[in-house]
């Protein structure tokens, strides 16, 4: 639990050390920032847009190539495998591929050899 410390709780050696370190510092009166003249929203590099003007788009998924085939959407899923659509890039014929789960394949007799 944080609480504010009072001046009485500081060690006197610490106070003396701090006063010696910071005794020669003078307060900064006027700070001039770079490009401070007429600093408005247009010069900051950002501009406000109403939320009704924003067009939300989902990011397009990159395609996955396996050999000469392009992997498509999932057609189905079972306990042992998934079935996905594949497109042959040479003939543009659609195919289906069954992707077996290796861990489940071990449970089938003669499944993994």
Could you tell me which of 74, 69, 70 has the C-alpha nearest to residue 84? Answer: 74
SS3 label, residue 14: helix
Q: Is 101 annotated as a binding residue?
A: no
**Taking the mean position of all CA atoms in its chain, how far away is CA 33?**
33
> In 10 A of CB 76, how many CB atoms?
10
Six-digit token pair at 82?
Answer: 């998934």
CB 56 within 8 A of CB 73: no
Binding site feature residues: 98
Q: Which residues belong to the annotated binding site for ATP?
A: 98
């Amino acid at each position: 639990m944080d609480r504010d410390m009072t001046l009485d709780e500081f060690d006197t050696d610490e106070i003396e050390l701090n006063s010696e370190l910071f005794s020669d510092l003078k307060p900064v009166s006027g700070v001039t920032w770079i490009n401070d003249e007429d600093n408005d929203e247009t010069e900051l590099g950002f501009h406000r847009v109403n939320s009704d003007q924003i067009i939300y788009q989902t990011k397009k998924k990159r395609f996955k190539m396996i050999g000469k085939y392009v992997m498509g959407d999932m057609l189905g899923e079972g306990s042992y495998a998934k079935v996905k659509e594949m497109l042959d890039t040479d003939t543009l014929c659609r195919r289906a591929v069954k992707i077996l789960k290796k861990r489940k394949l071990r449970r089938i007799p003669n499944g993994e050899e």
